[in-house]
């Protein structure tokens, strides 16, 4: 059996360890990604210290009693599972969405907002590993000039403040913006607020 190293959190004891585990095999519509960079989010620290728990555990994680952390992941396509529709090719550079719709709740069945969205690295195995599985719909190609370590943090540290500023807050030029906490997300919020023309920006 081919194995890999993965950073795994035992959910009962909240003990974290790098373990040797089988390299996962992509199922229908899934892609095996060779991880090149993965971010460490404060949520990961909170998962390890027990102040945060997974929201909608998948059966696989429940059975294993442990989850591979990491919801900020970039890498290259390694192996395609059966019935992958997109034109993905091995070696293609990709970033992975930080989660996915569950696919079987009332919202998903009506093709509306998922009621129990699954978070990568919390509810199912994430990218603190040499390889990780992603549904093909959660892959996005990235340009050659974008380094993997910068691409990896887009799915949370950049996209979360982007949604707050551009979506929820709908900030317009010359509007004042206050940012509480210039940490991993807040630092990007300052840059994003500047890009949309906010002024002044108080952080
Ligand atoms: Zn995060
Ligand atoms: Zn759903």
Note the ligand closest to the C-alpha atom of 70. Answer: 1
The answer to whether the CB of 24 falls within 8 A of the CB of 61 is: no
Phi, psi angles (nearest 5°) of residue 8: -115, 140
114 pLDDT higher than 90: yes
Ligand nearest the Cα of residue 114 is: 2
Has residue 57 got a pLDDT over 90?
A: no
The answer to whether the beta carbons of residues 135 and 111 sit under 8 Å apart is no
Location of each CATH 3.90.180.10 domain in the chain? 3-147
Q: Is the pLDDT of residue 1 over 80?
A: no
Query: Per-residue pLDDT averaged across 164-172, rounded?
Result: 96
Find all residues with CB under 8 Å of 20, minimum gap 6, and list them.
3, 4, 5, 6
CA of 42 to the centre of ligand 2 (A): 26
Which ligand places an atom closest to the C-alpha of 41? 1
pLDDT band at 55 (very low <50, low <70, confident <90, very high): confident
Say if residue 63's pLDDT is above 80.
Answer: yes
CB 184, CB 157: distance < 8 Å? yes
The per-residue pLDDT for 53 is 87
Residue 107 pLDDT? 94
C-alpha–C-alpha distance, residues 80 and 133, integer Å: 10
How far, CA to CA in Å, does 115 sit from each of 47, 83, 101, 124, 199?
A: 22, 26, 8, 16, 36
Topology of domain 3-147 in CATH is: Quinone Oxidoreductase; Chain A, domain 1 (3.90.180)
Task: Name the residues around ion ligand 1, CB cutoff 5 A.
Answer: 41, 43, 156
Residue 113 DSSP one-character state: -
Q: Give the Cβ contact number of residue 201 at 10 Å.
A: 17
d(CA 78, CA 32): 5
C-alpha radius of gyration, the chain, whole number: 18
Predicted ipTM of the assembly: 0.94
Q: How many other C-beta atoms are found inside a 10 Å radius of the C-beta of residue 56?
A: 17
Neighbouring C-beta atoms of residue 70, cutoff 10 Å: 26
């Amino acid at each position: 059996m081919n194995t890999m190293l993965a950073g795994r959190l035992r959910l009962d004891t909240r003990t974290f360890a790098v373990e040797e585990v089988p390299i996962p095999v992509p199922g229908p519509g899934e892609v095996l990604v060779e991880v090149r960079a993965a971010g460490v989010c404060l949520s990961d620290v909170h998962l390890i210290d027990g102040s945060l728990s997974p929201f909608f555990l998948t059966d696989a994680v429940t059975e294993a009693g442990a989850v591979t952390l990491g919801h900020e992941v970039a890498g290259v396509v390694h192996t395609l599972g059966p019935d992958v529709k997109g034109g993905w090719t091995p070696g293609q550079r990709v970033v992975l969405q930080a989660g996915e719709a569950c696919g079987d709740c009332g919202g998903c069945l009506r093709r509306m907002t998922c009621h129990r969205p699954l978070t990568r690295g919390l509810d199912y195995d994430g990218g603190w590993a040499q390889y990780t599985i992603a549904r093909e719909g959660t892959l996005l190609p990235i340009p050659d000039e974008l380094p993997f370590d910068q691409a990896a943090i887009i799915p949370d540290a950049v996209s979360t403040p982007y949604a707050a500023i551009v979506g929820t807050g709908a900030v317009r030029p010359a509007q004042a913006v206050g940012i509480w906490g210039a940490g991993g997300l807040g630092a990007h919020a300052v840059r994003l607020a500047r890009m949309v023309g906010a002024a002044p920006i108080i952080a």
